[in-house]
Structures are given as C-alpha cells and as structure tokens.
Amino acid sequence: MEIPVTLPLAPAGLPPLPEEPSHASVWPASACPVPAGDLAVGGVSLAELADRFGTPCYVLDEGEVRARARAWRAALPGADVAYAGKAFLSRALIRWIGEEGLSLDVCSAGELELAAHAGFPAERIVLHGNAKSPDDLRTALRLGVGRIVIDSTGEIARLAALVPPGARQRVLVRVVPGVEAGAHAAVRTGVEGQKFGLPVAGGEAEGAVARILGQPRLELVGLHCHLGSQIASVDPYVTAVRRMVALLARLRDMHGVTFPELGMGGGFAIAYRDGGAALDPVAYAARVTGELSLRCAHADLPVPRLTVEPGRWIVGPAGIALYRVLAVKSTGSRVFVAVDGGMSDNPRPALYGVRYTVRLVGRASAAPARPVTVVGRHCEAGDVLAEDVALPGDVRPGDVLAVPASGAYQVSMASAYNLVGRPPVAAVADGRARLLIRRETPADLRSRDVGE
C-alpha cells in the first residue's frame, strides 16, 4: 500500500494551489508500511500500540499536528490562527499549538480551566458559545481571556454586569451572514434558522452592535462569523467576506466606528477517504485575503486583522483509531465485522452519516478483499463505524483494524454509553509513544455514582 507522505502545500514562492478543493491522503504524512502487513505512524507500529495500550485506542501523531498548525501560520502570516479546541483538547495538544504560535478557541469553563492548567496565555484565548453559562463568563473574566464572542443580545448586559468596575472586556459579535455551507444540515451555521449568532438580514446584528457600543465595560473590536463544518470549497468564505465587509461599512456609516478585527471562523474540510476533498490553506489565504483587501478598498475601510479557527483540519488527519475485531458474521448478503469500540468513542457516523477508511494492520493477508460493514459493540442498530469498506476475506477475531482521520470530534464527543469507558489517547513522535489520556475504568465510572 503506497501512502503519500506530504501535506498538500505549495512551496514558498510558487503560485497558489488551485482554488477548488485539493485531494488528500487520509493518513498522517509519517505513515509508512512495515513488514508483515503492519503500518507505522510517527515511527511506531500500530499493531504494537494496540498491544501496549489496548483497544479501542486513539493514536495522535505529534509531528502531523505541528506540521498542519504551521501550514496555517505559513499561509496566513499576518492573521491570528486560533485552534478550535472543541475538535480535541488535552494538555499536550495545548502545549503543541502554543509552541507553534497559535491562539486557542474554547467553548466552556472546562476547556478554559484546562488551558490555564496547561499554562496557555489567556490573552490568546477566545471564548465562544451560543449559551454561555454564568460560570463560563466568570471563568473567562477571572482568567483574563483575550476575546469573548457575543452570540445573543441577552448576553450583552449579562457579560457587562460581570466585568469588574474600571475594567473593559474585548468582545466580538457573531453574525449570521446568510451563507449556506457545510457537509450536513446539522453543521450549517452560516444561515438563519439555527441557534448560533445574530442575523444580518433581519437587522439583529446591527442592533447588537449598537447595544455593545453603549456598554462602557465592553470594548467591541470586531465581527465574527462561522459558516459550518467540512467545507471543501473557498467560495462560501469569499461570499461571506463580501457580506461581512458590507456590514462593516454600514456600521461605520451608522456609528462612525471601524473595527480592527474580523473573525471568519473555521469549518475547513479534511478527507475521510483516500482522494476525498480537503480545503487547502494556501488557496484559502490567497482568495480570502485578496477579497478582503479589495472589498475594504472599495468601501474605504481599513483592512481588519483576520482570524481563522481551524480545528478538525489540524488534528483530524493526525489521529488514528485502533480497534480489535470481536466477531465476524454474515447476515443475508452482508458481512458484519464487530469491533470492541463503536458509538461510545465515535458517535459521528450515527450523527452525520460519516464514512471512514478502515485498514487491517498487524498481519499480511493474501485473501481477496470483500466489502464489509464494520460495526460497534453497543445496543443500537445505528452503531455502525464504516459501511461497505474493503477488508481481506479472512478477517477474523483478534485482528487489529486502523481507522485514519480520527483525531477530531471522536474522543471529544465520546460517552460512557453501556458503561463502556472512554478510550485512551497516545501520542507518537520520532519512534516513541507516550500516553496522553488514560483509559476510563469501571472504577472511574462507579466513583460518580454516589446515591443509595
């Protein structure tokens, strides 16, 4: 099996890559075949990792995370690149993105406290959320976060009342630009009729800006929008830039103010199957910054500093899920391969119908491939990890299966359904592996049950 080992980046000095989506490998750049049908990532055998840490297990390639963070920094050297922590967060990951010069986007007091515990600079943190709790806001103010993104008009007075006398909190307003983008209806957040942000079309965004400008304890530094998730084309972002600059011009005319920052969110697509579409940061940077400069020049506005928030794009392709086969059976014309994980460690197929690549690791097989459905261990008919994937016809209990592109929105969304503990996360780099997050044990689960 030949595995590409380069990120889709244009070398310095060459023209930007094509504007349409690039096509990427689902495996980390360090992935390479090793003898006996195995695969190594970060210089470490995946089969050995399954034996050492047990299964299910998640493996994170530190070098891949760092390289992908650098890709955004290189593409947008004048912008603020904030890693979207909701994709996956741990102390080690926070340290990596901090060392690579990224900011951090969080959505809760829990994520804020973890960042503080890891020593991440609070001034480089932005707090999001459509329904921030009082604890979220108090924690953000106590730690001194750099930005809070206001998502509703009711949040304005609530936040202002919590800011200490004599202090000012920098904020942005999340607006809905009316741009439909995203791979699934559940993740399209740039259009009206969903829970996030304040619509431009109905005037709610302009009303929120007026209210904030009347709050002496809040300093409005810009606007923010987020279109959705798994967006592979740059076109929706270009459309959003046009609408956001038009709003900035109207606000300038109404209030006599210009804002120094413009957040364009994230949602950048990655490939989940070989050859799948992925957004390229170089193409994004060329078109979005070009459009921003052009529209601001036409409106006679200063060009605001751009903020982008890649999460999945940075950590998704760096992660691999490892499972062990428990059972193989045929039902009618279908072959089911059941593994020791499932929707408790990866709910995305059940939520969004996501399709993954699956590969046998740890032994060679000469058996012809056949289509199978890889299913989980849970008591749900919808607990399906991958449909119609090709695996050797002799796949059997005890085999180890590797699922690439598993670094984002799997461990972070994991549950203890059926009281199955959440899996561990191990990092690999330079031929070494270390545990980042240990496996959740039955004792962990019992310790929360304090009733009689």
What type of residue sits at position 419? Answer: L
Cα gap 105→220, rounded to integer Å: 18
CA distances from 133 to 106, 129, 137, 143, 197 (A): 13, 9, 6, 16, 16
Task: Give the number of other CB atoms < 10 A from CB of residue 167.
Answer: 10
Q: Which of 32, 57, 225, 379 is catalytic?
A: 379
Cα within 13 Å of Cα(1), Cβ side: 21
Q: Is 419 left (phi over 0), alpha (psi -120 to 50) or beta?
A: left
Whether 32 sits among the annotated catalytic residues: the reply is: no
Q: Three-class SS of residue 374? A: strand
CA quadruple 68, 71, 72, 74: dihedral sign: positive
List, in sequence order, the alpha helices (H) in 118-234: 134-143, 153-162, 204-213
Helix and strand counts by DSSP (H, E) for the chain? 12, 23
Cα gap 404→14, rounded to integer Å: 30
β-bridge partners, 148: 127, 171
Catalytic sites, residue numbers: 379
